[in-house]
Structure 1
Amino acid sequence: MKRDVRLAKFLLLAVMLSVSAATGWQLYASRDQTLAAADTNNLNLANALNIYAEGVFTQSDMLLQGVAETLKGEGDEPERLQRVQSLVERQKRLLDQLDGLAVLDAGGDWLMYSKGRIPPGTNSANRAYFIHHRETRSNDVLISPPIRNPFTGEWGITVSRRLEDGKGGFAGVVVIGLGLQNFLRAFGTIALPGTGTIGLTTNHGQMLVLYPYSEKAIGLDFSGSANFQRHFGGTSGTASFRSSIDGMKRLYAFRKSDRYPVLTTVALGRDEALKAWRHQALLTIGVVGALLAIVAAVGWRLIVNIQRRISAEASLLAAREDLLRANRRLEVLATQDQLTGLANRRSFDEVLAHECRRAAREGTALSLLLLDLDYFKRFNDAYGHVAGDQCLKAVATALRRSARRPGDLVARYGGEELAVVLPRTDLPGARKVAEQILAQVLALDIPHSASPHGRVTVSIGVAALEARHSDEPEQLLVEAADRALYKAKESGRNRAVSEEEFADA
């Protein structure tokens, strides 16, 4: 009894530790899934915003190309500039972000501004984009860091292109200003959590646009940042690190443009991403904790009851004797053969009688197989009764594999005789099952030196009951199967012989 108490305590502890470990693992896996889902959502959003940014820069590039071609056309300079103005008026409906377009000559003086009159002496020769185009012979567009509009004072991104004369020499610059507020309005349509950010930077790490808007972030250079160098080297990806701007740990996703040297990033606060998970985790911990407390209380009560039972053992001796007598009665009534694990004769008789009544009531077929292990007495004499018992068990297992339907019954009929009841099975179907059993037994390949076949085989008698009978149809069915079994033995054994179906009595 003391051993029972120790076992109960061990099981109680094992259950509580197992449940706690399983809950912890599930919460950890759920956390990883939540972070992975957040990374996927961020990356999808970064891809979509990258397409948007590429579209804006592509429209700007096409407008710059159109302006460059127009300036090379016929006519004097005022006429060409007027055609440029007309082109800009047509295109600005397609490019909402357009803040203005300017044409600069080789000295940096403004020749035209799409939004109105140019103040005298306006010159941008000291601008970085102008210096780049003057010193670099390339027709590629240049996307420059944000600068203030010299007339409105608002921040904007410049997209510029080199102009050349007929000899390929530097003839000036055509530049488009894209207002940051237009980008911010577009980004503002995205539903982001409170700590979420959207950024547009150059591939070298210089900030172009940051949403939510922060003027102190304009033009920040992250090229020397270890996080930028470590995580943003590929075409796209995700990362998690602490922001150098506000110190918050975020989940980042980025996508580089295939056409322009810009990079779109989407970031979500790590705590924000895990907020729903934390709520669910606390709820789960509370529920599991309550259940564990209940289990502990019930388990402890069980242990107390076991200890009380130990103290009352003397008074339970009489009850134990009654229980033993009841167990002996149950053993007598048991329906299972102890050696083979099959149904015993009592169970066989009950099931066969029941199935015969049902077959008569429903008008369905019923088949019976009677089996006998060939030369089994010789087997016992040659190998001993222990080997004979093992042989019976192996054959019983083979029968179970052949009669697998829920209604089929495999029973030990007596000694080395076995029986298989096959409800709703006609004679051809029963023969198929018999052939399967023959094959299964042969496949066991149990040596039998005293048998002409050299190994253990069975003979099978097959009978079927397909019509209504008068009295005791089960006895007729058993007799028919027994006659068929006798014929199988008489014909050389290791075979199945069937009795023709009964006619109506």
Structure 2
Amino acid sequence: MTVPTTTTSSSPSRLSAPGVIVTLFVLAMSACVLGLVVWKALDARKTMLAQSETDSRNLAHSLVEHASRSIQAIDVAMSGMADLLKYQNPQPDRFNAFLANTANALPQLREIGVFDTLGNWRYSSLPETPSHNNSDRDYFIYHRDHTDSTIRVNAPITSRLTGRTSIILSKRIDGPDGSFKGVLTGAIDNQYFSDFYKTFQIGESGGISLIRSDGTLLLHWPSMEVGKDLSGTQLIQTRLKQSLAGSYKIDSPFDGITKYFSYEQTTQYPLIVTVAIPEDQVLATWRSNLLSDVIVASVLLCTVILLAALLSTQFRFRLNMENALRERESRYRLLADNIADVIILLDRLGNIVFVSHSVEFVLGHSPNELLGRSCFELVHPDDVEAVKAASAQLTDLTANRTVIFRTYRDDKSLAWVEVNFKLAMRATDREKVEIVGVLRDVTLRKSMQDELTALNSKLAELATTDGLTGLANRRTLDGFLRSAYEQHEQISVLLIDVDNFKGYNDSNGHQAGDECLKRVASVIADATINTPALSARYGGEEFAIVLPDVSEADAITIAEALRLRVRALEIPNMASTRGHLSISVGVASRNSLTSNEAVLVGEADLALYEAKRRGRDCVVANSALQREYFSAGFSHDS
């Protein structure tokens, strides 16, 4: 029986095998490099668009806050004016000067005007009060026919006086009985917003729009277009109903260019701010980087082909080595090129044994100059103990600690950083424990937190104190009195009025009047310092003191001492028959007939009225009056 023989491969076939393997290798490498370039391009594009969206949404938020705060300042001023005009008819010269001072104090406000019930100018911040009638204006008609007392943001109009386009803010003025008494208006020049918007770099075809919530265009920068009806756009019809803030891609209704569009609507006023950045501008850097990646990938492929052809006999070995090195290099470059934080490695003594290259971008130091140095050399002297305390708390491999401290950049500037510490053990040396830290620059965040804290403190102070005298304001007084009345069975109230103050003001001027009130307020404040009592400005030239756990007799003693101390100031007052400034004080204490804190204030007010009737410069207690004179909430004029 014959066994068939097996023929072996020919030599040319064996020689062609490495060529086939090299070809397959080159094809595979080409596919890998191409895939990497495509993946990186798509990922970079996604990252670029996400960053652009975040930046544009942050810008839209900042701009809508700017618009809201600009209008809020005017709203606060106009609300006070409307309340004043509701009950008083100030002299034109003085009130016009007050309006002019208000307009000068608010940079966004060009002018303020007050119109009577017929649309004629009543007061104005302008040097001369205009004479034309504005009853045909939309805002006048609206307030005349609606009882809404909130501020109204009107569509842009062209001034009949200057010809300039402005956004008009208007507010209805009610009479004491709620009837229509006129309209208060404030004009914001469109140039105010335009000057602010042009400080932002959004490209030649970019745009910022300020829109009223009904779709009326208040301003589009840089075209300065106004009045366009945008109510039919996707923003008004769909997007705002889904979310007050967002972003999406659109074809601009102004120039037809494809743009990435971010918007935000403020909840306080009917305002929307939009930011539109052209797609070409957003992706310009990405396209430039993509071209560089393609060039690098092409060079890499050519190099691979040449090396593969020359070293085909060692193909398998070199293929494995190249794949391993390429994978490691890819991961390292991905980490090194994209991480924004600094990674540091410390020994147990705090010496730096490794620091990532990102330290150059965060702190300006090169990694080599930091190696071997103690980490405490980089910490601000005042924060060293806090850092040492945090590191001392690392007692096991599961513990981590975060500490925020100050450090110095390479240019000696101060920076706030946040570092998260954790113990780590080397895989090659299980006995050696080191500390891994991730450092992040939080200077901007710390600055914003400090600024926010300062602003909150200032707002809290403004909300509780009177701006002129430094005493508690009326709102704080009401809350304190309500609380004190509920907590104390015995409580007294002093109402203090500066005698003949109107005459003093007329003779000496408002500045002197303000200084006079400050000096009187200082005397009143001294009476309650380091006590549970509260002194406050009640209104105009009137002050109040709430005295918990103080009887009427003691309250009279305090009031009499105050009266004598004010007389001792010896402030000349030609409007007084005495020739000097004095005060009248009404005293009331809680008794069985006092039903609430409002009645208590009314009793003190009645006593104050009696003190003024008796000739001023005296103290009168409510208990000394006849019962038929009691009238809670009785008001009087000085």
Instruction: Classify the TM-score, shorter chain.
Output: 0.5 to 0.7
2:155 aligns to what SS in structure 1? strand
Counterpart CA distance in 1 for 2:429 and 2:149 is 85
Shift of 1:118: 3.7
CA 1:405/1:303 → structure 2, altered by over 3 Å: closer, same or farther? closer
Match of 2:34 among 1, 16, 20: 20
- Is contact 1:103-1:111 (8 Å) kept? yes
Match of 1:160 among 137, 153, 170: 170
Larger radius of gyration: 1
Amino acid at match of 1:224: G
Equivalent residue, structure 1, for 2:305: 296
Q: Confirm whether residue 131 of structure 1 aligns to residue 145 of structure 2.
A: no
Equivalent residue, structure 2, for 1:243: 252
- Is contact 1:227-1:241 (8 Å) kept? no
Q: TM-score, structure 2 length as denominator?
A: 0.45
Alignment map for 1:381-420 (pairs within 5 Å): none
Shift of 1:280: 1.0
Equivalent residue, structure 2, for 1:281: 290
Match of 2:187 among 177, 187, 191: 177
CA 1:68/1:229 → structure 2, altered by over 3 Å: closer, same or farther? same
Counterpart CA distance in 2 for 1:406 and 1:188 is 59
Q: How big is each residue's C-alpha offset from its partner over 1:78-119, in whole Å with a ceiling of 9 and x where there is no partner?
A: x34444323323322431011111111112122222113244
- Is contact 1:231-1:239 (8 Å) kept? no
- Is contact 2:259-2:277 (8 Å) kept? yes
CA 1:295/1:105 → structure 2, altered by over 3 Å: closer, same or farther? same
Alignment map for 1:69-218 (pairs within 5 Å): 69-74=83-88, 77=89, 79-120=90-131, 122-214=132-224, 217-218=225-226
2:173 aligns to what SS in structure 1? strand
Q: Confirm whether residue 223 of structure 1 aligns to residue 223 of structure 2.
A: no
CA 1:407/1:229 → structure 2, altered by over 3 Å: closer, same or farther? closer
Shift of 1:60: 1.1
Q: Confirm whether residue 45 of structure 1 aligns to residue 69 of structure 2.
A: no
Q: How many residues in Structure 1 have an aligned counterpart in Structure 2?
A: 305
Shift of 1:230: 3.3
CA 1:81/1:239 → structure 2, altered by over 3 Å: closer, same or farther? farther
- Is contact 2:264-2:273 (8 Å) kept? yes
Counterpart CA distance in 2 for 1:405 and 1:152 is 79
1:72 aligns to what SS in structure 2? helix
CA 1:294/1:194 → structure 2, altered by over 3 Å: closer, same or farther? same
Runs of 4 or more consecutive aligned structure 1 residues displaced over 6 Å after TM superposition: 303-306, 404-408
Identity %: 26
CA 1:405/1:289 → structure 2, altered by over 3 Å: closer, same or farther? closer
Amino acid at match of 1:212: P
Q: How big is each residue's C-alpha offset from its partner over 1:365-399, in whole Å with a ceiling of 9 and x where there is no partner?
A: xxxxxxxxxxxxxxxxxxxxxxxxxxxxxxxxxxx
Alignment map for 1:234-383 (pairs within 5 Å): 234-300=243-309
1:253 aligns to what SS in structure 2? strand
- Is contact 1:34-1:274 (8 Å) kept? yes
Amino acid at match of 1:132: Y
Greater relative CO (CA pairs within 8 A, separation 6+)? 1
Counterpart CA distance in 1 for 2:249 and 2:219 is 21
Match of 2:80 among 54, 66, 90: 66
CA 1:213/1:116 → structure 2, altered by over 3 Å: closer, same or farther? farther
Shift of 1:406: 6.5
- Is contact 2:210-2:273 (8 Å) kept? yes
Equivalent residue, structure 1, for 2:19: 5
Q: TM-score, structure 1 length as denominator?
A: 0.57
CA 1:72/1:6 → structure 2, altered by over 3 Å: closer, same or farther? same
Amino acid at match of 1:257: T
Amino acid at match of 1:59: A
Shift of 1:221: 1.2
- Is contact 2:103-2:125 (8 Å) kept? no
1:174 aligns to what SS in structure 2? strand
Amino acid at match of 1:23: V
1:117 aligns to what SS in structure 2? coil
Amino acid at match of 1:99: R
Equivalent residue, structure 2, for 1:321: none
Shift of 1:303: 6.4
**Contiguous gaps of at least 5 residues in structure 1:** 307-403, 409-505
Shift of 1:305: 11
2:96 aligns to what SS in structure 1? helix
- Is contact 1:50-1:264 (8 Å) kept? yes
1:115 aligns to what SS in structure 2? coil
Equivalent residue, structure 1, for 2:325: none
Counterpart CA distance in 1 for 2:251 and 2:92 is 50
- Is contact 1:71-1:84 (8 Å) kept? no
Amino acid at match of 1:164: D
Counterpart CA distance in 1 for 2:179 and 2:429 is 97
- Is contact 1:71-1:81 (8 Å) kept? no
1:92 aligns to what SS in structure 2? helix
Q: How big is each residue's C-alpha offset from its partner over 1:200-252, in whole Å with a ceiling of 9 and x where there is no partner?
A: 111122111222143xx211111111354333431111111110110111112
CA 1:97/1:213 → structure 2, altered by over 3 Å: closer, same or farther? farther
Superposed CA RMSD in Å reads 2.5
Counterpart CA distance in 1 for 2:217 and 2:429 is 76
Shift of 1:73: 3.9
1:210 aligns to what SS in structure 2? strand
Counterpart CA distance in 2 for 1:243 and 1:406 is 60
1:145 aligns to what SS in structure 2? coil
Counterpart CA distance in 2 for 1:227 and 1:301 is 62
Counterpart CA distance in 1 for 2:216 and 2:72 is 20
Amino acid at match of 1:229: Q
